[in-house]
Amino acid sequence: MNTKEKTKDRVVLSFEVFPPKKTSPISSIYETLDKLIELKPDSISVTYGAAGNDTSARTFEIAGQIKERGVDSVAHLISIGLTKEDLLKKLELLKEKNVNTILALRGDKPDFPYPKGDFEHASDLVAAIKENSDFHVIGAAYPEGHLECPSLVDDIKNLKKKVDAGCDSLITQLFFDNEDFYKFRDMCDLAGINVPIEAGIMPVVNKRQIEKMVSLNNIRVPKKFMKIMNSYENDKIAMRDAGIAYAVDQIVDLVSSGAYGIHLYTMNNPYVAEKIFEAVKNIL
Ligand code: FAD
């Protein structure tokens, strides 16, 4: 258990969860939430289904439940297909649930025809939320550059537009080489991006999960990490423990290099989150 008082000097720790599949009852996530909440993170964010799979009812319900259980929650929201009218309704729903923070995203473009909606880029969504409400708004950032953008420099120029549109802070895509994060952070400084940046860390506990993630998002896998995956891919427990150790190593390095915050992609696995938390709680 985290016995430290939260102070401004502390490194921020947030967790990310996703809603259960529509075929499972929403309550199936509550045990996971209760275990994560025991660790007293600064917040827990809840993902939103990609275009064509609107999970807003579940995302918002879970975000509301987290808030009711005494932890700040963040509702992800994607803009693909969203009209201004939809947005205003969703802001109202979130207010009713006492959720004060939104991670404003564009979402991945689907490979089927889809309604465009009123917001082309995440920055347009950020601006509209800020114009119409007092939500704290977070934006997504990509230490290795976003897949669609020709270069990291161009992506950071676009990130600056998103921050100027009103992002209060940023959370990054997962990365496996901290050097990519440090280079990105320096480039953000040079670009005049001055909002806090939480570093996204995903503990990898199975090889297939990471292969999918990496190929979809163009994330670099360092040799050191590849060796771990190749050595332990057929031993579930060893792979899990090696994935936890790698994430802990990344976090220790990030914290000692002055990272503002750590955003842990928990994959709804409280065991892994607890192990990581136990290992790093005294340095946060
Ligand atoms: P944007 O900021 O709009 O950027 C998308 C692309 O457009 C980039 O290449 C950018 O460089 C470019 N661009 C931006 N602004 C401009 C401009 N003004 N002119 C020209 N080009 C521009 N997806 C989900 O479906 N659900 C989730 O819950 C979810 N959670 C996420 C959480 C985090 C922390 C992260 C990092 C990503 C998450 N995603 C989620 C994935 C995200 O939706 C995709 O990466 C998506 O492709 C881009 O979303 P964005 O908000 O970064 O878009």
**Of 145, 131, 143, which Cα lies nearest the Cα of 171?**
143
End-to-end CA distance of the chain: 13
Ligand 1 cavity residues, CB under 6 Å: 47-48, 50, 76, 78, 103, 105-108, 121-123, 140, 146, 148-149, 155, 158, 161-162, 171, 173, 200
Looking at the chain, the whole-number percentage of residues with pLDDT higher than 70 is 97
Could you tell which of 121, 159, 213 is best to mutate to test the pocket of ligand 1, judged by most ligand atoms within 8 Å of the CB? 121
pLDDT one-digit tens code per residue, 73-102 = 999 999 999 999 999 999 999 999 999 999
**Of 151, 44, 62, 54, which Cα lies nearest the Cα of 103?**
44
Find out whether 42 and 73 touch, Cβ atoms under 8 Å.
no
Q: In angstroms, what is the span from residue 38 Cα to ligand 1's centroid?
A: 31
Please give the Cα distance from 15 to 46 (Å, whole number): 9
Task: Kindly report the protein residue whose alpha carbon is nearest to atom 33 of ligand 1.
Answer: 140
Structure tokens at 137: 């708004």
In the block, residue with structure tokens 């915050």: 261
Q: How many CB atoms lie within 10 A of CB 123?
A: 23
Question: Would the pLDDT of 6 be above 70?
Answer: no
Domain ranges of the chain: 2-280
pLDDT of amino acid 8: 52
Task: Kindly report the protein residue whose alpha carbon is nearest to atom 29 of ligand 1.
Answer: 47
Element of type H or E holding 141: strand 136-141
What's the predicted TM-score (pTM) here? 0.96
To the query of whether residue 16 is one of the catalytic residues in this protein, the response is yes
pLDDT band at 281 (very low <50, low <70, confident <90, very high): very high
CATH topology for the 2-280 domain: TIM Barrel (3.20.20)
pLDDT one-digit tens code per residue, 162-211 = 999 999 999 999 999 999 999 999 999 999 999 999 999 999 988 888 88
Atom of ligand 1 nearest to the CA of 122: 3
pLDDT one-digit tens code per residue, 25-55 = 999 999 999 999 999 999 999 999 998 888 9
For 223-242, the three-class secondary structure string (H helix, E strand, C coil) is HHHHHHHHHHCCCHHHHHHH
**Of 140, 117, 100, which Cα lies nearest the Cα of 54?**
117
Atom of ligand 1 nearest to the CA of 51: 25
Please give the Cα distance from 260 to 199 (Å, whole number): 8
Please give the Cα distance from 67 to 78 (Å, whole number): 21
Could you tell which of 15, 82, 90, 105 is best to mutate to test the pocket of ligand 1, judged by most ligand atoms within 8 Å of the CB? 105
Question: Exposure string (b/e) for 189-207, b if CB count within 10 Å is 16 or more?
Answer: eeeebebebbbbbbbbbeb
Structure tokens at 183: 């280079």
